[in-house]
Amino acid sequence: MLRVACVGAGYFSQFHFEGWQRIADTKLVGVTNRDRAKAEATGLPVFDTLEAMLTEARPDILDVIVSPQGHADAIRLAINHPLKAIICQKPFCTSLQEAEEMTALAEDADIPLIIHENFRFQPWFRAIRQHISDGAIGRPLQATFRLRPGDGQGPDAYLERQPYFQQMERFLIHETGVHYIDTFRFLFGDPLAVYSDLRRVNPAIAGEDAGYVLFDHADGVRVVFDGNRNLDHAAENTRCTMGEGLFEGTDGTLTLLGDGSVWLRKFGEIDATRILPPDNSPNFGGDCTHNLQAHVVNALTQGEGFENTAREYLTVVAIEAAIYKSSQEQSKVEL
């Protein structure tokens, strides 16, 4: 039985708590949060400080569910305790330099540091990768993902769920686009270059909320991320997939719809075959939070390799920085 403690009890933490409770090999043993009332609302044992929780609850896994400004302090404190793993939410730290420092500290302490980058664990992206690997669309040439959550309009945008979104000076890419940087790496490997054009549509927020990013991958694969949080797509729950995607190759096209279903249309044909049914999970993003947690537990208990180690994730942080540089300089940035 792996003992799990969590630092952070904000909006998204609910998905973490619920996910851990469904894993038979884990037990939640504590939570700490700046706002004690939020921690108490979880029904878990509450600790006033992270140090007290690490010392008294003796967790095997620390789940860091706070904003980037709190990552470094939590990791610095955690590595002084006999943990089997630390999981840290994205975006990882406040800068590439800080992320590199925290990665090195965890490695020196011989504690696996895993970034909670969960979109690659969404069932539709797992299915798309498997079918691409199996040759279902032949040689991949292009992919497009249109981010359309429809939650960014007006002066009250994001206030009900995650109000700090309004103050983020870097928003679309830093907060949301990083999911797709990692997902495209998961599907096609590391990009070789990026070009981006970012803008702010809603004047009520500080950062960018729309833009295009072009990724050049190996073997001639090109990926377009077309994001706009002010627009929606055809889905009962626009936060299920957050948008729609096309993954095109010489022998066919895989289409991701807003209900989580994936369809394969062979080249030259009109009709498509459904290869993944719509997502009926009541949990966020096809239950991707739980899927990542289960992956970490399996890695610890079954000896499987970790995905999204901090060392690997530094590539995502570097690509993000290149995207902002490209938009600022209005030029393609080689990686």
145 and 261: one domain?
yes
Express as a percent the part of the chain with pLDDT over 90. Answer: 98
Q: Which of 66, 87, 116 is the last residue of a domain?
A: 116
105 and 147: one domain?
no
Q: Please state the rounded mean pLDDT for residues 275-302.
A: 96
The whole-number pLDDT of residue 194 equals 98
93 and 237: one domain?
no
Residue 300 maps to a domain: no
Where does the pLDDT of residue 3 fall: very low under 50, low under 70, confident under 90, or very high at 90 and above?
very high
Assigned token pair, 219: 């073997």
Q: Which residues, in sequence order, are CB contacts of 242 under 8 Å at separation 6+?
A: 147, 148, 149, 176, 285
CATH assignment of the domain containing 189:
3.30.360.10
252 and 236: one domain?
yes
The whole-number pLDDT of residue 266 equals 98
124 and 57: one domain?
no
Which among 216, 204, 245 has a CA at the least distance from the CA of 322? 216
Q: Which of 116, 150, 169 is the last residue of a domain?
A: 116
70 and 196: one domain?
no
Each residue's pLDDT tens digit, 153-162: 999 999 998 9
Q: Please state the rounded mean pLDDT for residues 328-335.
A: 98
Q: State the residue for tokens 């406040």.
A: 94
Residue 61 maps to a domain: yes
CA-CA distance, 65 to 94, in Å (whole number)? 14
Each residue's pLDDT tens digit, 188-221: 999 999 999 999 999 999 999 999 999 999 999 9
102 and 164: one domain?
no
Assigned token pair, 75: 């990791």
Domain of 102, in residue numbers = 2-116
Q: Which of 95, 116, 137 is the last residue of a domain?
A: 116
Q: Which residues, in sequence order, are CB contacts of 239 under 8 Å at separation 6+?
A: 149, 151, 284, 285
Residue 232 maps to a domain: yes
CA-CA distance, 29 to 44, in Å (whole number)? 7
Cα R_g (the chain), whole angstroms: 20
CATH assignment of the domain containing 64:
3.40.50.720
The whole-number pLDDT of residue 294 equals 97
151 and 193: one domain?
yes
Where does the pLDDT of residue 241 fall: very low under 50, low under 70, confident under 90, or very high at 90 and above?
very high
**What mean pLDDT value characterizes the chain?**
97
Each residue's pLDDT tens digit, 17-58: 999 999 999 999 999 999 999 999 999 999 999 999 999 999
240 and 92: one domain?
no
The whole-number pLDDT of residue 281 equals 87
Residue 39 maps to a domain: yes
125 and 67: one domain?
no
pLDDT over threshold 90, residue 304: no
Express as a percent the part of the chain with pLDDT over 70. Answer: 100
Each residue's pLDDT tens digit, 121-166: 999 999 999 999 999 999 999 999 999 999 999 999 999 989 999 9
DSSP state of 123: H
Each residue's pLDDT tens digit, 87-120: 999 999 999 999 999 999 999 999 999 999 999 9
Residue 227 maps to a domain: yes
* Number of domains the chain contains: 2
Q: Please state the rounded mean pLDDT for residues 285-312.
A: 96
Residue 159 maps to a domain: yes
Residue 309 maps to a domain: no
164 and 50: one domain?
no
Residue 296 maps to a domain: no
